[in-house]
Amino acid sequence: MRASLLICFRLILAFVLTAPAIAFAQARETNIKAELVAEHAPIAGEVMNVAFLFSPDEGWHGYWSNPGDAGLGMQLEWDLPEGWSAGEPQYPVPQQLVLLGLMNHVYEGDYAVLVPITVPEDAVMTGWGPIRVRADWLACTDEVCVPEQAVLTLRVPQVQPDENPFDHFRAALPPLIDSMATFELEGDALRIGIPLPASMEVGEPHVFIEQDRITADKRVAYADPQAFGREGDLLVARIPLADLILPENSDLAAFDPLARVSGILAFGEEGNGISFEAVPGEVPFVERFTAPAPAEFAPLWSLVLAALVGGLLLNLMPCVFPILSLKAMTLARAGESEQQAKREALAYTAGVVLACLAVGALLLALRAAGQEIGWAFQLQEPIVVVALFVVAVAITANFAGFFELPSLAITREGGNSSSFATGLLAAFVATPCTGPFMAAALGAALLLPTPAALLLFTALGLGLALPFLLLGFVPALRSRLPRPGAWMERFRKLLAIPMGLTALALLWLLVQLGGRQFAMMALAMVAGLVLGLIVTGRLQRRGKMAWPAFGLIAAPFLVLGAFALPASYSDSEVSQAESIHDLVNFSDAALADARASGSPVFLWFTADWCLTCKVNESLAIEREATRDAFEQAGVIAMRGDWTRRDAEITRFLTENGVAGVPLYIWYPAGREGEQLPQILTPDMLVERAEASSE
């Protein structure tokens, strides 16, 4: 409905603004220049190809025969000799242009539309007279549309050129495949099976459907992402459909189902594709391999702001807040100069930003190499979780006073280098988290050009470092810090509690990733390291050299871990968390079946290492009130567990514009899904279930 209103508004506005221009269209220059030329002079009994040559001015574009959500296709009125006939226009592969959430099928550069004209065998070839056509088209920029028209007279070449330009025009047309495709309706989607050799690369495919209306109450949802899969020599495309709202007793309701669907399959590279025709028939369900969506994002400045705010909120995470609090206490030290405070703030910020950029660059590089990964991918790697477990236990022991680490000390020792190291540490333990504001920014970062993506990762780091940066540069904020005293040591020991809980959570995650034996080996290794740290702390307090002793104690445990951890790792299935719902495990096929059943579907993606996910599940999903509402409304509950790497889930997350979990989607019966906020309120799901049963 929203799309229909936007289309009407845009067309009405274009007419109001440009209606005076229609009356004198011929008296002024058009924004898209047009010319009509023939390949050769007409010959009786043969087909003469003619070409409309369009040249849009800078910033203007024309439209394909089906313009998409908005725009108008070209209209032709021929003035031909008696018995002559003009065929259907043949267009090159159009481009996708998304404005205000509407998909347009456009041509932004010069293009040629071919039309075959059949000359009858008994045509008189002398004095056949000029061939004219009145052509009406719409010329648009991103802000305004102007209806244009021209009466064009066919120009026939007098001399055959050395290089026939029509060869280039024909080469730009998508060839029609020999075999017939098939299509069938699947609830709110059109599924098309296109015969295509399995060896043929399709890049990032997109299907342009020539018919706008598919059934009496369904039209193509052009801006929604399409999904594609392979089965041998068959490419299966899933095209989303949108509801048509028709007035009561409307003549448009009398619409016979389509007997044929035609269109163009574009291969991602500009201008490459094939055309096809499809008839009703069976189309198999296949595993989806890609679902490219039009790259329409919020303005870059708003994404940068979202990343900045998202990074700022990461400071509230239990694994980051203790580190930030400890660094804040270093600025409360007696005798701290303003210059020193600024230097430490800059060093801390540099460490944070560098770590975020490193993680972001690695993520982009791995995705460019074909890896299906998303944000927090490091927590899907057992060895990385072991490293985080070691760090969390070491920080906990440091906060508890078992030993001193310069970068986490309240004393003046360490200086700028310790602040830089602390920034690296804070970002390392914080980057696995996602939350509000971060989702849209990091989801866009996976699809935007590399420079823009790295800018978003930089903004994330700046947001994470912002509190300490402000403390360093704003004396008024530092003056509000409590005065130094004995309370600082007591507070530091108190901070060991959230860090210890973080360590326990990581140990539990190791069980989920590698099995209990793997987690026990990691615990044994860490126990040896903690023993070495305790001995180191005692030697430190006596003023003796401490770290050689730590090396002697820790070395055997590190060797044990190097050999025992790989041997104890188990790649068996992750034990799924218990649920009060009758759950369906996510897959593309399972989701398609659930939506085709005619029941509402609630789909959520979670991971055992996602704190936000667990809070939402406790407060809103795993509640008896939610279960009862789901059972009464017949809601299908579907869960995707991303604790371990899963390429199918990663693709689905990317398609929906997010880089990590949580992701919540509510599918009303027979309609497109609604992406819910990343923070669920207790009654949000109950209200939707009750509304669907009314």
Task: Report d(CA 27, CA 177) in Å as an integer.
Answer: 44
pTM: 0.47
Predicted local distance difference test score (pLDDT) of residue 358: 87
The residue among 660, 666, 570 whose CA lies nearest residue 613 is 660
Contacts of 383 (CB under 8 A, 6+ apart): 565
Q: How confident is the model at residue 67 (pLDDT cuts 50, 70, 90)?
A: very high
Q: How confident is the model at residue 7 (pLDDT cuts 50, 70, 90)?
A: very low
Task: Report d(CA 626, CA 628) in Å as an integer.
Answer: 6
Whether residue 461 is predicted with pLDDT greater than 50 in this model: the reply is: yes
Predicted local distance difference test score (pLDDT) of residue 25: 35
Q: What is the pLDDT of residues 583-636, one digit of tens each?
A: 999 988 888 888 888 899 999 998 877 767 887 888 899 999 999 999 999 999
Contact call for residues 154 and 184 (beta carbons, < 8 A): no
Predicted local distance difference test score (pLDDT) of residue 593: 85
* 617 vs 102 pLDDT, higher one: 617
Q: How confident is the model at residue 182 (pLDDT cuts 50, 70, 90)?
A: very high
Rg over CA atoms, the chain:
32
Task: Report d(CA 266, CA 263) in Å as an integer.
Answer: 10
Q: What residue has token string 């044990």?
A: 560
User: What number does CATH give the domain 2-171?
Assistant: 2.60.40.1250
Q: Is 347 exposed, middle or buried (0-12, 13-18, 19+ CB in 10 A)?
A: buried
Q: How confident is the model at residue 391 (pLDDT cuts 50, 70, 90)?
A: confident
Q: How confident is the model at residue 337 (pLDDT cuts 50, 70, 90)?
A: confident
Q: How confident is the model at residue 558 (pLDDT cuts 50, 70, 90)?
A: confident
Residue 70 amino acid letter: A
Strands 636-641 and 584-585: parallel
Average pLDDT, the chain: 80
Query: Among 54-68, 213-227, 494-508, which range has the highest average pLDDT?
Result: 54-68
Strands 145-153 and 132-140: antiparallel
Contact call for residues 153 and 36 (beta carbons, < 8 A): yes
Contact call for residues 488 and 332 (beta carbons, < 8 A): yes
Tell me whether domains 2-171 and 584-692 share a fold: no
Q: What is the pLDDT of residues 482-537, one digit of tens each?
A: 776 677 778 878 888 888 888 888 888 888 888 888 888 888 888 888 888 888 87
User: What number does CATH give the domain 584-692?
Assistant: 3.40.30.10
Domain boundaries along the sequence of the chain: 2-171, 181-290, 300-378+405-489, 584-692
Whether residue 122 is predicted with pLDDT greater than 70 in this model: the reply is: yes
Q: What residue has token string 């009314």?
A: 694
- Which stretch of 109-113, 225-229, 542-546 has the lowest confidence by average pLDDT? 542-546
Task: Report d(CA 181, CA 193) in Å as an integer.
Answer: 6
